Amino acid sequence: MTYDQIAAEIASASFAVLGGLHPGSDDRVPGPAGTLVLIGNAGPRMWHRFCAERADSSTTMDSWTQQALGDLAGALGGTVLFPFAKPPLPFLRWAQRAQAGFVSPLGLNIHPEYGLWHAFRGALILPQVLELPLPAKDTHPCEACASKPCLSTCPVEAFDGSSYDVDGCAAHIATPAGQDCLANGCKARRACPVGTGYHYLPEQANFHMSAFLTARPDAPSRSND
């Protein structure tokens, strides 16, 4: 199969292709790999499939993703790696190598089209070296953003452009004053003007924010979510 055919299969499964690369020895890909394809969600499309297939509230996003992408990888003749693996895998490095976005002031990957409204769900590892499309000549969208509202919107100033106060963020969300962030998603993230057409639905944002609180005291993954 070609890269475009594989991308079409991924899209038909309600996921998004976020980039591809030919891994080198410095990319820390466990095992042999000819091609690595980054798979994620963009906007609410995958969310709708998750809700339709979720057995009950005990089914986590991670467990559902393992099953869905495991089946997809098998059908495509590959294997899959996950951003929630322990020890963590360098998904942000892979994204930069694949030119699938840039590091935003929030520490999240910002995609030229999807903005902050995407997340890495897995990396498809294929044994063959596929011909990859030429990378787009995108510029970092944050460099042209003079006001950077993402850094001034957080009610507890959890972001300063170089670090993230995880404890302060979590403490705020757990209080009545933080209910807007809990119900609708991070205010700083919502302030970003890039990719607004891919905003998560309120119930989708609430799902991820609630999972963030439940997962404390462990720091959240920076694979976006």
Task: Render pLDDT for 168-177 as a digit per residue (tens, 0 to 9).
Answer: 999 999 999 9
**Structure confidence by residue, pLDDT tens digits, 14-72:** 999 999 999 999 999 998 999 999 999 999 999 999 999 998 888 999 999 999 999 99
Q: What is the pLDDT of residue 62?
A: 94
Q: What is the pLDDT of residue 70?
A: 98
d(CA 18, CA 7): 10
Say whether pLDDT at 221 is over 90.
Answer: no
Say whether pLDDT at 102 is over 60.
Answer: yes
Q: Classify 210 as helix, strand or coil.
A: helix
What is the side-by-side order of every strand in the sheet holding 16-21? 16-21, 35-42, 118-126, 79-81
**Structure confidence by residue, pLDDT tens digits, 205-218:** 999 999 998 886 54
Q: What is the pLDDT of residue 214?
A: 85
**Closest C-alpha to 223, from 40, 47, 98:** 40
**Structure confidence by residue, pLDDT tens digits, 122-170:** 999 999 999 999 877 788 999 999 999 999 999 999 999 989 999 999 9
**Structure confidence by residue, pLDDT tens digits, 185-207:** 999 999 999 999 999 999 999 99
Q: What is the pLDDT of residue 167?
A: 93
Q: What is the DSSP letter of 139?
A: -
Band the pLDDT of 222: cuts 50, 70, 90: very low
Q: Around Cβ 60, how many Cβ atoms within 10 Å?
A: 13
Band the pLDDT of 120: cuts 50, 70, 90: very high
CA distance to 75, 79, 99, 103, per residue, from 134 (Å) = 26, 24, 10, 21
Residue 80 tokens read as 């899959």
Q: What is the pLDDT of residue 136?
A: 75
Q: What is the pLDDT of residue 88?
A: 92
Q: What is the pLDDT of residue 219?
A: 43
Question: Residue 5 — φ and ψ, nearest 5°?
Answer: -65, -40
**Would you list the domain boundaries of the chain?**
3-126, 141-215
Q: What is the pLDDT of residue 27?
A: 94
Say whether pLDDT at 80 is over 90.
Answer: yes
Dihedral sign computed on CA atoms, order 213, 214, 220, 221: negative
The mean pLDDT value for 173-183 works out to 95
Q: What is the pLDDT of residue 220?
A: 41
